[in-house]
Structure 1
């Protein structure tokens, strides 16, 4: 396809587009970067400039860009069948993907329901849980529990079970009510745990369940890491305590591994690493290597069996989307998971995590304008500060946005949230690229703070 001039593309963009999570007034005030192609961990714009993708394209590109194996799987499937309805019909790659997910997730998770994105995966889990309690004569179980600063998506239901105030406050009057418990605390990077405590969280959850369990349907949480909520870590073991309390008080546990799943933390899934079987496991982003919009809600045989019955019993789950189990999505997912299994078995991901930690220590530890580093696996959050003894930057200072612009000018693509920088490399990023990622991050922090 011939590429139009940069000026013409910019004009179409500025005249007709509306970008997600983007203050459009600011977007229009700065030069627009139009991306044209990508390879490995690098993205190239229409003017030939290249950028290291330190954000894995919104945390999704586990194999990097333009992976030849995923490309081949996509083309092979496209030449056979791009899409057919999954309503009452099946196809081979969807069946194979269901088998993979049942085999690789914790024992007890046996059934996969496919949707288009992470928010929809959460919505599916919510509706399954609510219908389950209703069908079992426990209609009082309608309330939900969220964890402080948790984030599960941007549809009404997924917003309702999160606590991302800065993103979602404007819609609060349309959300259903929830109970919010404190998040646990864990200060950790490069394998060093400075402090961790989950006692306040567990105490609050225990008290809430003692008082309201007959009315509470479910608890939704991101295991190990609060993603958009500041990349705050949970102590390992917290998830297991939550599972035990949900079991004791008969409350469904929905785990959102949309960010941390598929090798980002080292193991395939965090719940498997903690030997915890949730009632619902929500997956997206890395499910097909970030190639196509796709998600899965994986649940238990007990849940599935509860929905079996004659049509007249009205147990059917009347929910689903046009592109559920799209054949292109499932084909690429099958290949992506095969590649991840091989990477995990060979120790390749663990070695990259070790390299990432070494580069964090080399370039970022002790930086005068960093107040805290939080890292686990291939995910790192960095809080920018003015320096010891000086007041923190406010949201209005836009220091994160200024960092983004400086890093982009120097060939590094990162997307901070507020004043927290997120380094989320692809699982294939090599040592030289990780060195550049951490080195340029340190340099851009220094530049924007000293010019603030």
Structure 2
């Protein structure tokens, strides 16, 4: 038995993998990874895989990054963890101060958790609790757009709209109001704003109709990542901020996947020139090293919870590893790299190259759309190009792309029929060219019988 196969058998005897039909692994091998360096992962037999999906969108500065490694090792010798209720520590204070300087002005308070779903739960609870504290308990519902994804705990799942994740648990979920998303699927980029304006009319109508019972609107700015990398223009966010203010409804931006440079600016909200009432961050916050998430909010919202204990206005929410010092140290090292290497500017040429490499794929007879926002490119396969009719999900065209890419040393993990590139920022032009070549091959193989 090979070394890889030995590890795979031990895995299958003891693990239950996330977002996986485990029966698939009767024919699809689990890939055991021994080490990583830069954009590459290596298995136990020396085969390497280019990590084009940033290990679920978290790793932005490469595996085994020496600067992040060093900062974590230094912190490990000082303090590994301490309760954050009644105690504090240097890394979490410094991180909160820096995030406050970097985020849209006015988000002056940070509340920490350890994953994106938990951050969304915190934002939803804080919004509901805020209105209760200020004497408006009837404002308890949430409004969102179709095709969104905000995590898989029950509150986060409630405000999502990807049927694959939500349908099974429908009876357990909150009653959330949903309006059509503004995405420009199948349209030229210069038509995205017009499409978004049409969709926004329904958002405006929902806000007007339900304002008295709405606590907040929650959206993923610019890219609906788990919803197939559907994209929309920043103008929608500008209109949404103004409408929420006018109707007295709070605004939550879930930048868990799109924050920290992924869309071309440090935060996606910068492109709309607006500030949400709650900003949820995670994933790239620690450079892909350790679990950490944060909800940033305003002084006004913070003040609504600040009172004598007997009023029961305190936000009594906690996680054991809230503000973990090692994770905060990784986040501080990540922010250092953004600052010292001028990453946002450096990414522009790579984003341009990604667009140029993807554009020829638009001519493929079974590609319905090629779209890009910053360091994210999506190529959507369709059964019929003229009508944009999707493939039946049971045909599993994306899985065919994935299997071919693995054979060519690329970790290309499509979302259904959507192939996407979301690479670490340290990827080289030559590595991007390799990804484009493997993607083209995978497309051909996945659609050969169409």
Fold agreement, TM-score > 0.5: yes
Whether the aligned pair in 2 keeps the contact of 1:188 and 1:195 (CA below 8 Å) is no
The residue number in structure 2 matching 1:398 is: 396
The residue number in structure 2 matching 1:328 is: 326
The residue number in structure 2 matching 1:251 is: 249
Q: Distance in 2 between matches of 1:26 and 1:111?
A: 44
The residue number in structure 2 matching 1:15 is: 13
Cα RMSD over matched residues?
1.8
Deviation at 1:300, TM superposition (A): 0.5
Deviation at 1:417, TM superposition (A): 1.3
Deviation at 1:93, TM superposition (A): 0.7
Write out per-residue CA displacement over residues 387-442 of structure 1, whole angstroms, 9 at most, x where no aligned residue.
64696421010111111111111111011111111211111111001111111101
Whether the aligned pair in 2 keeps the contact of 1:40 and 1:66 (CA below 8 Å) is yes
The residue number in structure 2 matching 1:42 is: 40
- Classify 1:16/1:300 alpha carbon distance in 2 versus 1 (closer, same or farther; 3 Å): same
* Residue 193 (1) aligns with residue 156 (2): no
Which of 363, 377, 380 is the equivalent residue of 1:380?
377
Question: Is there any run of 5+ residues in structure 1 with no aligned partner, and where?
Answer: none
Write out per-residue CA displacement over residues 34-62 of structure 1, whole angstroms, 9 at most, x where no aligned residue.
11111111111111110111101001111
Q: Distance in 1 between matches of 2:172 and 2:10?
A: 34
Deviation at 1:6, TM superposition (A): 3.1
The residue number in structure 2 matching 1:423 is: 421
Deviation at 1:354, TM superposition (A): 1.6
Whether the aligned pair in 1 keeps the contact of 2:264 and 2:373 (CA below 8 Å) is no
- Classify 1:345/1:428 alpha carbon distance in 2 versus 1 (closer, same or farther; 3 Å): closer
Which of 106, 114, 117 is the equivalent residue of 2:115?
117
Q: Distance in 1 between matches of 2:378 and 2:81?
A: 39
Write out per-residue CA displacement over residues 97-140 of structure 1, whole angstroms, 9 at most, x where no aligned residue.
00111000011110111101000000000111111111111111
1:46-445 to structure 2, matched below 5 A, reads 46-186=44-184, 192-196=189-193, 197-344=195-342, 347-361=345-359, 363-386=360-383, 388=385, 392-445=390-443
Whether the aligned pair in 2 keeps the contact of 1:268 and 1:344 (CA below 8 Å) is no
Q: SS state of the match for residue 108, structure 2?
A: strand
Q: SS state of the match for residue 279, structure 2?
A: strand
Write out per-residue CA displacement over residues 278-305 of structure 1, whole angstroms, 9 at most, x where no aligned residue.
0000000100101011101010111111
Whether the aligned pair in 1 keeps the contact of 2:186 and 2:369 (CA below 8 Å) is no
Whether the aligned pair in 2 keeps the contact of 1:188 and 1:194 (CA below 8 Å) is no
Q: Distance in 1 between matches of 2:258 and 2:434?
A: 23
Q: SS state of the match for residue 180, structure 1?
A: strand
Whether the aligned pair in 2 keeps the contact of 1:263 and 1:344 (CA below 8 Å) is no
Question: Which deviates the most, 112-121 or 375-384?
Answer: 375-384
- Classify 1:386/1:311 alpha carbon distance in 2 versus 1 (closer, same or farther; 3 Å): closer
Q: Distance in 1 between matches of 2:344 and 2:293?
A: 27
Whether the aligned pair in 2 keeps the contact of 1:369 and 1:446 (CA below 8 Å) is no
Q: Distance in 2 between matches of 1:37 and 1:193?
A: 43
Q: Distance in 1 between matches of 2:25 and 2:286?
A: 30
Whether the aligned pair in 1 keeps the contact of 2:261 and 2:344 (CA below 8 Å) is no
- Classify 1:247/1:325 alpha carbon distance in 2 versus 1 (closer, same or farther; 3 Å): same
Q: Distance in 1 between matches of 2:270 and 2:221?
A: 11
Deviation at 1:181, TM superposition (A): 0.7
Q: SS state of the match for residue 300, structure 2?
A: helix
Q: SS state of the match for residue 193, structure 1?
A: helix
Question: Is there any run of 5+ residues in structure 2 with no aligned partner, and where?
Answer: none
Q: Distance in 1 between matches of 2:186 and 2:108?
A: 34
Whether the aligned pair in 2 keeps the contact of 1:143 and 1:215 (CA below 8 Å) is yes
- Classify 1:236/1:373 alpha carbon distance in 2 versus 1 (closer, same or farther; 3 Å): same
Deviation at 1:244, TM superposition (A): 0.5
Runs of 4+ that moved beyond 6 A: none
